[in-house]
Amino acid sequence: MQVIHSNSPPPEPAPPPTGGRRRAGIYLLPNLFTTSALFAGFYAIIAAINGRFEAAAIALLVAMVCDGMDGRIARLTNTQSDFGAQYDSLADMVSFGLAPALVVYQWALSTLGKLGWVAAFMYSAATALRLARFNTQIGSADRRFFQGLPSPAAAALLATLVWFGTTHAVAPALITALAVMVVTLAAAALMVSNLRYYSFKNFDLRGRVPFVTVLAVVLVFALVSLEPPSVLCVLSVGYAASGVIETLVQRRRWRAARRADGRSPPGS
C-alpha cells in the first residue's frame, strides 16, 4: 500500500490525450509560403484593376506554386497545425476564389454587364463550396485523388487563359467574353462536381525514378520556356479535362464488367 505524506507534493496530472489532432501553435516556415500565396493573389487583384493582366495572371500562377509548397513543407518538417490549416483555407479563398474571378472579370467578363459579374460570382461561390467540402473531408477521403477540380487548378485555368489572350492580343470582344464566360462557369462546375482528379500527393521527390522520367521533366521545362502562356494553358486545360476523361473511362469499364457478368453462367 502506497503511503502519501502530508508534506510531499501532489502528483502531476497526466496530460490530456491529443486524439491524433494537429498540434496547436503557429509555425513560421509553412505560413510564410501561405502568406506569399495570399500576397500574390492580392497583387493579382491590384494588377488587374490597373490593367496589367499579364502580371496578374503570372501572380496567380505564383500563388498556386506557393500554395503547393506550404502543405508539403509542413508535412516534411512536421509543422502541421490547426492554425495553418485554417489560414491556408482563408488564403486559398482570396488567391483562388476572389482573385481569379476579379482578374477574368476585368479582362473580358465586364463587357457582358450583369451576366459577366454573375459568372464571376458563380466562380467565387463554387470556390468557397469546394474549399468547405475539402475541409470537411480531411482524414476520410482518398489522398491520391481530389473530389472535384482543385481550386488552384481552376485558378490556373483562368490565369493561363488570360495570359494567353493578353500575349496574343486577343481583343475582349463579345464573342471572346462569351467564350471566357463558358470557361469560367465550366471551371466552377468542375470544382463542385464529384469527378476525381489525381492529387500528386503520393509523388515522392526523394525516391528513385527511371531515367525516362527525368528526361520527361526536362522536356516539359524546355517546352514551357519556349512559349509559357500556350504550354501552361494546354497543361491547365488537360488537367481540367483529365477528371472528365477518367470518369468516362471508368463508367465504360463498369458497364463492360456488368455486361460480362450478365453473360457469365450462374454459379461460375
Dihedral angle, C-alpha 229, 230, 236, 241, nearest 10 ° = 160
pLDDT (0 to 100) of residue 139 = 62
pTM of the model: 0.81
* 3: in domain: no
* 10: in domain: no
| Residue 130: domain span | 28-262
Per mean pLDDT, which of 126-140, 147-161, 253-267 is the most reliable? Answer: 147-161
- What is the mean predicted confidence (pLDDT) over 33-44? 96
Strands (E), 169-223: 196-198
Give per-residue pLDDT as tens, 169-180.
Answer: 787 788 999 999
CATH number, domain containing residue 196: 1.20.120.1760
- In angstroms, the Cα distances linking 149 to 4, 101, 203 are 63, 16, 19
Residues pairing with 146 in the sheet:
197
* 174: in domain: yes
* 16: in domain: no
Give per-residue pLDDT as tens, 79-126.
Answer: 888 888 889 999 999 999 999 999 999 999 999 999 999 999 999 999
Looking at the 3D structure of the chain, how many domains does it have?
A: 1
Q: Mention every residue, 6+ apart, whose C-beta is less than 8 A from residue 171.
A: none
pLDDT (0 to 100) of residue 79 = 80
**Concatenated DSSP letters for 148-172?**
S--HHHHHHHHHHHHHHHHHTT---
- What is the mean predicted confidence (pLDDT) over 1-28? 53
Percent of the chain with pLDDT over 90: 50
pLDDT (0 to 100) of residue 224 = 83
Mean per-residue pLDDT of the chain: 84
* 18: in domain: no
* 21: in domain: no
* 2: in domain: no
* 128: in domain: yes
